């Protein structure tokens, strides 16, 4: 029987660095450095991931407060538009649709398990990803982010599987493989060429999502 597969989103399916353009454009509009805006945005990161902060307006309000800045309505509207541009501009790697489509054709149940803000959902349809997954385990909806067991459990329950039968695939950020290993899943590190090298313990390492198609663990 084809093994169920849980797959990460950012840096696994989506090309890096998705936030870079937003930081650069918004920082220029505010007259601050991208690094300063990044620093001002980071305190809200966990709130965005677990869905207690869900809108671009909330993200911008928090960043402006951290910067000690106020802006006129026109600039504020532009900042909101730039935040949405970030999510509408997300791009997937060329191997994503062919690999996921083939896995589905072979009968693998698929779950998307990702730490993300609520804004990410607008990209799932545009990128044609939503129909390829049987279950979406989005941290902002579940109110739990990897490696919290709750987000994995949501995918496990949604697929109706024995977690030990599952394969987890991700780029290795946020201790996601350790979280999957807690459930005795087979873990796969996707280390793409040029990607940040992560010291992650995993059962297998691949450089392309297409390599997943020939992975020995999927032939069992």
pLDDT digits (tens, 9 = 90+) for 19-73: 888 899 999 999 999 999 999 999 999 999 999 999 999 999 999 999 999 999 9
Query: Among 194, 25, 188, 22, which residue's Cα sits nearest to residue 117?
Result: 22
CB atoms within 10 A of CB 201: 10
Residue 142 sits in the same domain as residue 189: yes
Q: What is the DSSP string of 14-67?
A: BPS-TTHHHHHHHHHHHTS-HHHHHHHHGGGHHHHHTTSS-SHHHHHHHHHHHH
Residues 165 and 65 in one domain: no
Among 7, 184, 212, 11, smallest CA distance to 113 is for 7
Query: How far from 177 is each of 41, 167, 189, 218, CA to CA, in Å?
Result: 26, 10, 8, 17
Do 76 and 121 reside in the same domain of the chain?
Answer: no
Residue that terminates a domain, selected from 29, 63, 88:
88
Domain boundary among 37, 56, 88: 88
pLDDT in tens, 175-220: 999 999 999 999 999 999 987 778 899 999 999 999 999 998 887 6
Q: Are residues 40 and 103 in the same domain?
A: no
Same domain assignment for residues 44 and 103: no
Cis peptide before 147 (omega within 30 of 0): yes
| CB distance 164 to 131 below 8 Å | no
69-88 per-position pLDDT tens digit:
999 999 999 999 999 999 99
The tens digit of pLDDT for each residue in 106-165 reads: 999 999 999 999 999 999 989 999 999 999 999 999 999 999 999 999 999 999 999 999
Co-location of 69 and 112 in the same domain: no
Q: How far apart are CA 72 and CA 80, in angstroms?
A: 13
Rounded Cα gap, residues 156 and 220, in angstroms: 19
**The domain that contains 212 carries what CATH number?**
3.40.50.1000
Whether residue 105 sits in one domain with residue 69: no
**Cα 152 → chain centroid:** 14
Its domain, for residue 178, covers 5-16+91-219
Final residue of a structural domain among 88, 111, 128: 88
How many domains does the structure of the chain reveal?
A: 2
φ, ψ (nearest 5 deg) of residue 217: -60, -30
């Amino acid at each position: 029987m084809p093994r169920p597969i849980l797959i990460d989103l950012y840096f696994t399916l989506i090309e890096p660095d998705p936030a870079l353009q937003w930081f650069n454009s918004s920082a220029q509009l505010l007259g601050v450095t991208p690094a300063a805006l990044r620093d001002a945005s980071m305190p809200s990161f966990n709130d965005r991931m677990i869905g207690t902060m869900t809108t671009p307006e909330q993200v911008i309000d928090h960043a402006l407060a951290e910067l000690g800045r106020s802006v006129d309505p026109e600039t504020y509207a532009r900042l909101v538009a730039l935040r949405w541009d970030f999510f509408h501009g997300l791009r997937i790697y060329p191997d994503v649709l062919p690999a996921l489509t083939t896995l589905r054709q072979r009968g693998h149940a698929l779950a998307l398990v990702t730490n993300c803000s609520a804004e990410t959902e607008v990209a799932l349809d545009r990128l044609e990803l939503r129909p390829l997954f049987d279950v979406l385990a989005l941290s902002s909806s579940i109110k739990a982010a990897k490696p919290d067991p709750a987000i994995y459990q949501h995918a496990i329950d949604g697929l109706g599987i024995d977690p030990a039968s599952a394969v987890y695939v991700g780029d290795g950020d946020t201790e996601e493989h350790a979280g999957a290993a807690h459930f005795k899943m087979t873990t796969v590190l996707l280390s793409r060429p040029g990607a940040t090298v992560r010291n992650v313990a995993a059962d297998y390492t691949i450089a392309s999502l297409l390599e997943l198609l020939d992975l020995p663990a999927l032939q069992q």
